[in-house]
Structure 1
Amino acid sequence: MSALDPKRTIQELQELRALTSDPNTGGAMRVAWTDTWLKARDWLREKASGMPLEIHNDEAGNTWYTLPGKSKKALLIGGHMDSVPNGGWLDGCLNVLAGLEVLRRINDQYQGRPPITVRLVDWADEEGARFGRSLLGSSACSGHATPNADRNRTDKDGIRLEDALRRCGVDIDQMGKSKKELKNAAAYLELHIEQGPVLESLGLPLGAVLGTFGVERHAIKFIGQAAHSGSTPMDKRRDALAAAAKLALEIRPIAHKYGGVCTVGSCVTKPGIVTAVVGECDITLDQRNLSASKLARMYNDAVKASKRFAKEEKCEVSWSHIWNIEPILFNKDLIKMCYDSCVEVAGKAHKLPSGPLHDAAEVARAGVPTVMMFVQSLRGISHNPIEDTKLEHVEMSVRALDRLADKAMAWIQRG
């Protein structure tokens, strides 16, 4: 019986990095529905060979690696091979390759026939980097496919999402059928780099994730009056940018008040010339919180503030909804198992929420007991070629995920 080999995971991560990175920047180029992404997926299938796995793509393009067990009840371990353009070497693929190593250990320990079924899933298009639709494959599997809203999304070259999927063998109108994959799912585990600075600031390698933030995204338009920048007195101006700027600053105390995060990520002004007072200003607001009630209060406070600042600057303001998802709380039993596994490997651990969205949120929305494990990110930076994690921490994360898998398997058998 071969033992778990976390060093093999690191070797495979480095091999994948060499295979699919930009030769100039070193950044990952595994953007979903591209040839590089397909090459990475073929490489993963090759790595999984040698085990008695059933491998198939579902209707949403997710790839499933199934080790059938004595029971059809299934433990799922998931991640995603796709990346943002010029991304990091760990985001998404660590989840998959660590899961593959755990699958190898389980296969060897039980001689290809574990007490329950174990499945590794490579979700399709978690990032949404090319077409702006994140969690595409996992949302279809969870029952939240939106083909009519998504089919005509285009990339920077004008290629439609529906056409890009068809090229990869996916019919956008059939994606919802992937929901059947969760029929016997009894638990879902996902390891991920933190992508933030919390664990590093605490000096801890590993953490158990409580859930993913709910998200509210809105577009906000301030309308004032474009006017000559030289001839318009300061007290006569209707400056749309001034009102927007006040709101962009006000969201900071709102975030602190409710323990969430707020971001104005885009600002466009018209007429947008140096000699004119801004007549129109469009901004976007992203608000996130682990509590649904606090997220609602954050939104209400921001709306009230926008109206106040519009009045102060003699402007008008309107809001339009972009997208939202409710907070997703993970399973309490699995959180404890995850925390205990981290402590067993690293000595200490931390419980924290996830600000970024992950496929795990969609699996949890489908009613599958779910938990995530975070491993420390150096400098808290991700989606960047400098994204990194200490190699000893990567090894710890593989060992901790393996312990969590054992605990979850026993939990499923008891249930």
Structure 2
Amino acid sequence: MALNPQRTIDELKALRTLTGDEHGAQRVAFTDTWVTARAFLNARLDALPVTQHMDAAGNWWATLPGRSDRTLIIGGHLDSVPNGGWLDGCLNVLAGLEVMRRVSEQYAGTPPVTLKLVDWADEEGARFGRSLYGSSAAGGNIDVAEMQKLRDRDGVSLEDALRRVGVTLTAAPQARKELENAAAYLELHIEQGPVLEGLGLPLGAVLGTVGVERHTVTFHGQAAHSGSTPMNVRRDAFRAAGQLSQEIYAIAERHGGVCTIGSCKTLPGIVTSVVETCEITLDQRHLDAGKLAAMWQDAQDAAKRAADEGGCTVTFGDLWHIEPIPFHPELINAAEASVRQVSGTAHRLPSGPLHDAAEVARSGVPTVMLFVQSLRGISHNKIEDTSEAHLALSVEALDALTDRTIAWIQAQPGA
């Protein structure tokens, strides 16, 4: 059976019709629509000589046994955000399905290594606020007690939502056994950003997922009457925050990272008072751990200077942190070669968003990702799109990468 990228495109369109509406994709994890999407996948896998099962965390696995139990995993996620795009996550799964078809046919149902396709459960975290749930469970990185506290906007607990689809939350850590023989993990994803489009390139090899420092920065000044307080004696917390905002972007540019001031709250928050308290949220990201740490230190130093100059004080709060997760260097080389093979050129880039691949890599499994260009750089939106020509190239690149990775696994000591 020759690889048929057009079949993947047709299946993506069929899934869009089945699980979307005029507002976009509605495959939110553990909903009826998500269950329908899984049934769509299961029906197509039934035509292959694979076994299928759901693991203890709710991830869905299709296994094509090979001559060796050393396993190459291709992964993605069918779940979407509400009103999401037609490609985010499901491209990964359906392209992997097409590759599995080709490998099965080429090797008469028994490839040199075992091949697995996984649909990770709740990558998005759109419903309960905890992204990468299924891959985190398989990677050994979940706190069940904390997850038992999670509720959606309707008050439904994650535990109850999982129970409805046949999963017991307390058993979720048992999903770790799924990675026991994993020799490599591959994931194809739309870029969700504008870099490849800006370069005029269809595909890229992903270096890893960036680290994130996420904090609150709170300036403390003095409330005073807006009309009777001269400008030169004000201790205006908002003015100090504004001064920091001018510096924070220069810090990101200096270190080659990105940053976002995503929210700003002021107290007392009335038009007739100088701002006494101003809290901003700061998100900083970089692929290099040392440069990420330097960015955060520079931000703190700049905040202290702004506070001192404005007669204010400043305090810092921790929101979230994750270290950069680099992908496997030899698999990055293989990914770049595969991109070059199908498109004639290649580019390496980091991933700003997190992906299931990050949790798999974090667990110690050699991992790499491929990106395909996103039109306008837009994702998590019904207008999310990629040209069909580039979608076809992405399936071809994943297929070429699969062959290279199988050969790489066979060449490893003990294979």
TM-score by length of 2: 0.96
Shifted more, 239-248 versus 120-129: the winner is 239-248
Q: Tell me the residue number matched to 1:303.
A: 300
Query: Whole-Å Cα distance in 2 between the matches of residues 64 and 171 of structure 1?
Result: 17
**4+ residue runs over 4 A deviation:** none
Q: Tell me the residue number matched to 2:393.
A: 396
Which whole-Å deviations, capped at 9, do the CAs of 1:383-405 have from their partners, x for residues lacking one? 11111111000000000100100
Which whole-Å deviations, capped at 9, do the CAs of 1:105-161 have from their partners, x for residues lacking one? 111111211111000011111111112111111111111112222221222222222
Report how far residue 10 of structure 1 moved: 0.5
Could you tell me which runs of 5 or more consecutive residues in structure 1 were left unpaired when the two chains were aligned: none
Which whole-Å deviations, capped at 9, do the CAs of 1:42-69 have from their partners, x for residues lacking one? 2111121111211111111111111111
Q: Tell me the residue number matched to 1:342.
A: 339
Q: Tell me the residue number matched to 2:11.
A: 12
Q: Tell me the residue number matched to 1:312.
A: 309
Report how far residue 340 of structure 1 moved: 0.6
Which whole-Å deviations, capped at 9, do the CAs of 1:211-230 have from their partners, x for residues lacking one? 11011111222222233322
- Is residue 111 of structure 1 aligned with residue 108 of structure 2? yes
Q: Tell me the residue number matched to 2:93.
A: 96
- Is residue 368 of structure 1 aligned with residue 365 of structure 2? yes
Alignment of 1:256-275 (within 5 A): 256-275=253-272
- State the identity as a percent: 63
Q: Tell me the residue number matched to 2:283.
A: 286
Q: Tell me the residue number matched to 1:327.
A: 324
Alignment of 1:140-151 (within 5 A): 140-151=137-148
2:25 partner SS: coil
Shifted more, 187-196 versus 270-279: the winner is 270-279
Query: Whole-Å Cα distance in 2 between the matches of residues 36 and 57 of structure 1?
Result: 17
Query: Whole-Å Cα distance in 2 between the matches of residues 9 and 110 of structure 1?
Result: 21
- Is residue 187 of structure 1 aligned with residue 164 of structure 2? no
- Is residue 76 of structure 1 aligned with residue 41 of structure 2? no
Q: Tell me the residue number matched to 1:166.
A: 163
1:277 partner SS: coil
Query: Whole-Å Cα distance in 2 between the matches of residues 319 and 169 of structure 1?
Result: 42
Query: Whole-Å Cα distance in 2 between the matches of residues 296 and 200 of structure 1?
Result: 30
Could you tell me which runs of 5 or more consecutive residues in structure 2 were left unpaired when the two chains were aligned: none
Q: What is the alpha-carbon root mean square deviation over aligned residues?
A: 1.3
Query: Whole-Å Cα distance in 2 between the matches of residues 212 and 135 of structure 1?
Result: 13
1:276 partner SS: coil
**2:218 pairs with one of 217, 221, 240:** 221
Shifted more, 122-131 versus 218-227: the winner is 218-227
**1:231 pairs with one of 224, 228, 232:** 228
1:228 partner SS: coil
